[in-house]
Structure 1
Amino acid sequence: MANPASYRPRTGEIPTNPGVYRFRDPHGRVIYVGKAKSLRSRLNSYFANPAGLLPKTYAMVHAASSVEWTVVGSELESLQLEYTWIKEFKPRFNVVFRDDKTYPYLAVTMGEKYPRVQVMRGDKKKGTRYFGPYTAGAIRETMDTLLRVFPVRSCSAGVFKRAEATGRPCLLGYIDKCSAPCVSRISPEDHRSLAEDFCAFMGGEAKRFIAKLERQMADAVGELDYEHAARIRDDIAALRKVFERNAVVLSEDTDADIFALHEDELEAAVQVFHVRGGRIRGQRGWVVEKVEDFTTPDLVEHLLQQVYGNDGDSHGRLPREVLVPVEPSNAGELAEWLGGIRGAKVDIRVPQRGDKAALMTTVRENAEHALKLHKTRRAGDLTVRSQALQELQEALDLPVPLLRIECFDVSHVQGTNVVASMVVVEDGLPKKSDYRKFSVTGPAAADDTAAMHDVLTRRFRHYLQDKSAQVDESLLAPDPGEAEQPGPGQQEAPLDSTVQDSTLQDSALQDTTTPAPRAKFAYPPNLVVVDGGKPQVNAAARALADLGIDDVYVVGLAKRLEEVWLPDSDFPVILPRTSQGLYLLQRIRDEAHRFAITFHRQKRGKAMTVSALDGVPGLGASKRKALLAHFGSVKGVKAASAEELSQAKGIGPALASAIVNHFSTGDRAAATVPAINMSTGEIIET
């Protein structure tokens, strides 16, 4: 690993102009490309104090061995050059948007003499028009339907050449789903015109073609050519089937791509809806790993660069309007660059209200679901789970495999309703039956570290109690045929007086023949993860040390920079941003946080809904609900007489009198409470 100081350029050597810079590794490979308004300011930031750098920046500058830059005339030029270099060098520290699935496109090879309609995946080719993306089933159905009206060639080059040589078309030519240019049934010019009509229909001009066919059908009917009219009628029905498959979401003159994203600290999921002629023509998604410290505007800028960068030969995919969740960095220059690619103005904006903003919400929901699904699939992969556990064990230098991991999190609002959660992962999968919730009260609720110490102490005190109970159980229940008394040299293991539980001890003495089942806390984890940094980790380690437990390892995951802290360590462990071990720790931490937040909200909600009816003797939960349903509020119950209360469901005369007495006694008590001077303690009125 190189020392950044060994290749740091002198400050005076770096120009203050806008430009693009490249970091190279010792083998000369470009590992990062970036642009800057001021090269001097940006490059100096990479050679700051290493302790203050973000993990990705720290890793990048230590992996590099040299840096070089190119001065350009404007920010627009820097945007273009940065994109060109990223596509050329594919630097590993740059953001790369990867498709979350492989989408097929309906493609028309307009660059060939006889254009061909086909389903294509992968990289885009020059001279080919693309429509979609579609799902695999929908695209085949769409293509089969449209070839009835627009019989464009769809065969491969080999089939086409064989038909030319034999003078006989393929099956599609015989069933009128191909105009058979291979045997000169149609001229090259007319076949190209047919392919252009196909592209125009897919590009949103469906109504024009449907209206044209309707006129032809009317003319055929007028000429009493009913057979021809029937064929045209079927063609119209086929076009309408394709046209109406996509619901109208915006006005018919709207051509837009609507982007939304959902992100966490490590990844971001992006979704885009392609709207053409007011209809959703396709949907696409990406998942990006955040190997850089990008803000959301930076992510949007790089997303638009990568999505539209190869569209110079395919203007149909770049619409007039691009709707984004936040305005990208260098929005003006980016719009100018995209306008040059499209050959016309491109408007990049954030929808604020109306139908477009509503559709943006739908796209965002798809992005949230995509990220959740991506994490679920990765967590369910046995190979990935094994890799994550192995990477984590090696990174933390632990001598035991991580078969069981427990994670703890504390949740509260300004020190009130303090709770904690314990979630369990075995073999990389959550074991929800072992999840536990803790209420934290007293001095332990003073701060997060005290709460963490209290929770870990309680959890592992239970473990020691269960362990002692199991030892006691095994000693009291000898195997059949063995002597009931300890043999020579054997001694009954005493319970630890500091943690023994009389209830567990008594239950162990009741049955000396059947071994007790494994108790709920009898399985210790190999690793304890706490949500927090150095203070929380040290508190957890201190709790284990106080109980004499030395075979359970403790780490903490600090949320801000995803640092992994070890007890009594001055520096954190920095895992690579793409590490499966880091993903596993993050998932466990997030699950513990979710579980703690849920319990905290339940407890807080219960505390906030304590009713004045709770103190009435004999008035249970169901009868309280019946009273509130009958009178509408506690105020209505207070104002009711005993006779009126008796009319409510389940309320008898005795209970009604008790309710009236409860409120009358409470009102009298409230009326006789003296006022006290809090500084002197004297009663100032009665």
Structure 2
Amino acid sequence: MADPSTYRPAPGEIPVDPGVYRFRDSAKRVIYVGKAKSLRPRLSSYFQDVAALHPRTATMVTTAASVEWTVVSTEVEALQLEYSWIKEFDPRFNVKYRDDKSYPYLAVTLGEEFPRAQVMRGAKRKGTRYFGPYAHAWAIRETLDLLLRVFPVRTCSSGVFKRAGQVGRPCLLGYIDKCSAPCVGRVSAEEHRAIAEDFCDFMAGNTTRFVKRLERDMAAASRSLEFEQAARLRDDLVALGKALEKSAVVLGDGTDADVFALEEDGLEVAVQVFHVRGGRVRGQRGWVAEMDAESVPEIVGHLLQQVYGGESGDSVPREVLVPVLPDEPAAVSTWLGSLRGSAVDLRVPQRGDKRTLLETVQRNAKQSLARHKLARAGDLTARSQALQELQTSLDLAAAPLRVECYDISHIQGSQVVGSMVVFEDGLARKSEYRRFVIRGEQVDDTAAMDEVLTRRFQRYLEERDQASDVELGPDPEAGPDRIDPDTGKPKKFAYPPNLVVVDGGLPQVNAAHAALTALGIDDVAVVGLAKRLEEVWVPGQDYPVILPRTSDGLYLLQRVRDEAHRFAITFHRQRRSKAMTSSALDSIPGLGETRRKALLRHFGSVKRVRAATVEELQEVSGIGPALAATIAAELATAGAPAPAVNLMTGEVLDGD
């Protein structure tokens, strides 16, 4: 691995102009391409302390052996040149924030004498009208099949069309009236073109006039007693209705827009985009990519550049809606406008239908990432690989078949709770999850972590000692029996983990390690996972362990950490909600939940309970004379107004 200082440009050598730069390895291969509004500060950021860089960036600068740059006039030119070089060199450290699929379009070849409707992929051709993109070709064929009843445009290939003309007999679609059969002269070229243009108008969103025309024709046929024709027109209306259902109106103003949403977890990012044309969702695309940027605006910039960089101008809509604006939004908007040939509105919708649509796309992105993670978690090979990677990277004696992760949740030191989640063989074991209420108030994270681990492992030691003293399993040589004989289930804290993970950096790791050491436990490994750079901290080490961003081991640690965080947050919210809704009855000794409910059911409110006499309180089932007197005394004290005090002297004033 190269030292970045060996090829760092001399001070003042890098210009301050906008431009594009390339990092090359020792074999002169381009491994990274980037752009900058000002080259000097951007390139200088790569030559700081390697430990402070993003892990992927750190790997890149230590792999590179040289850097070069090209100055351009504007930021827009930098965008264009960067995309050209990425496409030319395919650098290994440039993450592709788009999928590698060619998405299908519904195309009508208006440039031909007899226009044809078909599915098309790849580069767009002159004289052809496109609709989409669609997620699947079968979605296009399904829509086309419905619309051919009303717009019987030609769909056959040139060879089939020519052969039908030679034999004077149309294909099957011509016989079932799903093609106007221009091949055999059933309609003229002009009439067929008119059908194709009507089809394009309908697909473009001008649907109302066709629906009304069919309704008029159906009513006229019915009045003329031409019931067969009326029935056919009715079926045509049904077909149009089904086609419209497949692309429901989401924006009433007929907007053309692409709506993007992202969901990231620090390692990967899920992208979803809805293509809205004429106010209707014509297509949806989604994919998951590796994340190499530290900020969402940077990802958005790369995403727009890669999605639109290889497209023709008519693929760029009038509006591009994003969750956050990219870095240098004016330059990106100008670049998109140059592709389209007119202005492009790049913005974040704040309210109304467009904001609602963006939230829908965001939900799709979130679900897409969840499905991706679930599929990866369910892969037995990936789980095995993850456990082996953790064993190797953390220098463990054996693969960590049981991993426990701990997290602390609170708001400014109040309602402090802890969580413990368990993963066995790389899968969540929810029956083993535990929750802890931290004793006392205003404790910091490290003290709370120390208490949680101490309580958990004290219970483990107690249950281990009890089992070894009085309960041996069926095989005495196998050691103490950790199964509860009454329930047949494992005891709550009977099994020790192979690996303890804490949510945090070195302070949290040291606190966890100190807690285990104080209990005399030295056979359980402890690590911490810090959120910002996903660094793995080990007790007593000044530098973290850096796992590759694509590592299955890091992915497992991240899933465990996120689950512990979710479990802690959920418990904290429950406690906070209960504290906010508690009443004066909660603190009365001897008054449990059942009797509290009985009192409220009988009197209707705490105010009426407070106003009740001791005799009236005894009328409630379960409330005896002693408890009734206690309730009356406690509520009288709790409801008494605070005495008035002279602020100058501190003297308690008389209460009249």
CA deviation profile, 1:91-136 (whole Å, cap 9, x unmatched): 3322422459997643445677765434467x55545624242567
Distance in 2 (alpha carbons) for counterparts of 1:56 and 1:363: 29
Check the 8 A contact 1:677/1:684 in 2, yes or no: no
Partner of 2:538: 566
Aligned partner of 1:453 in structure 2 is: 450
What's the counterpart of residue 543 of structure 1?
A: 515
Contact 1:291 1:578 survives alignment (8 Å): no
Q: For residue 403 of structure 1, what is the amino acid of its counterpart?
A: L
How far 1:39 sits from its partner (Å)? 1.0
- Give 1:649 deviation, angstroms: 8.5
- Equivalent positions of 1:62-461 (< 5 A) are 62-99=62-99, 105-108=105-108, 116-119=116-119, 123=122, 125-127=124-126, 129-134=130-135, 138-155=139-156, 163=164, 168-180=169-181, 194-211=195-212, 213=214, 231-293=232-294, 295-312=295-312, 315=314, 317-441=315-439, 446-461=443-458
- Could you say what secondary structure the match of 1:573 adopts? coil
When normalised by structure 1's length, the TM-score is 0.83
Q: Partner letter of residue 524 of structure 2? A: V
Q: Aligned in 2, Cα 1:235/1:457: closer, same or farther, shift over 3 Å?
A: same
When residues 194 and 67 of structure 1 are mapped into structure 2, their CA distance, relative to the original with a 3 A threshold, is farther
CA distance, structure 2, for counterparts of residue 105 and residue 258 of structure 1? 18
The answer to whether residue 516 in structure 2 is matched with residue 554 in structure 1 is no
For these two proteins, the number of residue pairs brought into alignment is 652
Offset, 1:628 = 4.0
Shift of the 459–120 alpha-carbon distance from structure 1 to 2, 3 Å rule, reads farther
Contact 1:262 1:371 (8 Å CA) reproduced = yes
Matches of 1:624 and 1:372 in 2, distance apart? 42
Letter in 2 for 1:204: G
Cα displacement (A) at 1:69: 1.3
Q: CA deviation at 1:555?
A: 1.1
**1:260-284, Cα deviation, whole Å (9 max, x unpaired):** 3233322332323333333333332
Query: Is residue 2:558 matched to residue 1:586?
Result: yes
Are the aligned partners of 1:470 and 1:516 in contact in 2 as well (CA < 8 Å)? no
> Quick one: structure 1 residues 433 and 186, their matched pair in 2 at CA, closer, same or farther if it must change by over 3 Å?
same
CA distance in 1, matches of 2:556, 2:381: 13
Q: 8 Å contact 1:533–1:558 — kept in the other structure?
A: yes
For the Cα contact (< 8 Å) 1:100–1:285, is it kept in 2?
Answer: no
Q: Residue type matched to 1:145 in 2?
A: L
Distance 2:189 2:309 in 1: 32
Partner of 2:149, secondary structure, is: helix
Extract unaligned runs of 5+ from structure 1: 480-489, 496-503
| CA offsets 1:618-660 (integer angstroms, 9 cap, x no match) | 6442443354466564334323456776788987998766643
Q: How far off is 1:88 after superposition? A: 2.9
SS of the residue corresponding to residue 148 of structure 1 reads: coil
**In 2: Cα distance, 1:113 partner to 1:87 partner:** 37
Give me the whole-angstrom Cα distance separating, in 2, the residues matched to 1:391 and 1:160: 60
User: Is the 1:19–1:35 contact (alpha carbons within 8 Å) kept by the matching residues of 2?
Assistant: yes
Specify the SS of the correspondent of 1:23. strand
SS of the equivalent of 1:389 reads helix
| Offset at residue 598 of structure 1 (A) | 1.9
* 1:520 counterpart = 2:492: yes
Aligned to 1:501: none
Are residues 1:621 and 2:618 paired?
no
Distance 2:417 2:348 in 1: 40
Q: Deviations over 1:14-54 (max 9, x none)?
A: 22211111222333332222111111221111111223222
SS of corresponding position for 2:12: helix
Residue 204 and residue 3 in structure 1: after superposition, are their counterparts in 2 closer, same or farther (change >3 A)? same
SS in 1 for 2:148: helix
Shift of 1:148: 2.0
1:95 touches 1:291 (CA, 8 Å); kept in 2?
yes
Q: Is the 8 A contact 1:18 1:78 kept in 2?
A: yes
In structure 1, C-alpha distance between the alignment counterparts of 2:599 and 2:542, rounded to whole Å: 60
Question: Are residues 62 and 183 of structure 1, via their aligned partners in 2, closer, same or farther at CA, if it must alter by over 3 Å?
Answer: farther
Give 1:467's match in structure 2, choosing from 464, 467, 475: 464
| Alpha-carbon distance in 2 for matches of 1:609, 1:214 | 59
How many angstroms apart in 2 are the aligned matches of 1:157 and 1:387?
53
Determine the structure 2 residue equivalent to 1:484: none
Shift in alpha-carbon separation, 1:115–1:551, aligned structure 2, 3 A:
farther
* TM-superposed deviation, 1:408: 1.1
Q: Deviations over 1:161-199 (max 9, x none)?
A: 765676654322322223445556566676565444433
**Aligned match of 1:486:** none
Shift of 1:350: 2.0
SS at match of 1:11: coil
**Residue pair 2:267, 2:549 contacting (<8 A) in 1 also:** yes
Structure 2 partner of 1:499: none
CA distance in 2, matches of 1:568, 1:140: 63
SS of aligned partner of 1:549: coil
1:605-620 → structure 2 map (5 Å cutoff) = 605-616=577-588, 619-620=591-592
2:288 alignment partner, SS class:
strand
* Worse-superposed segment, 41-50 or 9-18: 9-18
SS in 2 for 1:305: helix
Alignment of 1:498-537 (within 5 A): 518-537=490-509
Amino acid at match of 2:575: K
Question: Contact between 2:22 and 2:33, CA under 8 Å: does it hold in 1?
Answer: yes
SS at match of 1:12: coil
Q: 1:202 to 1:427 in 2, by over 3 A?
A: same
TM-fit CA distance, 1:328: 2.5
Q: Percent identity?
A: 62
Q: Give the Cα separation in 2 of the matches to 1:151 and 1:363.
A: 35
Name the CA shift for 1:213/1:309 in 2 (closer, same or farther; >3 Å): farther
Any idea what the Cα deviations from partners look like across 1:509-567, whole Å, max 9, x if unmatched? xx9xx999753333222211111111221222233333333332221101121111111
Structure 2 residue aligned with 1:24? 24
The CA distance in 1 between the partners of 2:504 and 2:146, in whole Å, is 58
The structural deviation recorded for 1:70 is 1.4
Matching residue's letter, 2:236: D
Q: Describe the SS at the equivalent of 1:524.
A: coil
Question: What is the alpha-carbon root mean square deviation over aligned residues?
Answer: 4.1
Over 3 Å counting, the alpha-carbon distance change for 1:115 and 1:388 in structure 2 is farther
Is the contact between residue 105 and residue 134 of structure 1 (CA under 8 Å) also seen in structure 2? no
> Normalising by the residue count of structure 2, what TM-score does the alignment of the two structures yield?
0.86
Q: Which moved more, 1:128-137 or 1:275-284?
A: 128-137
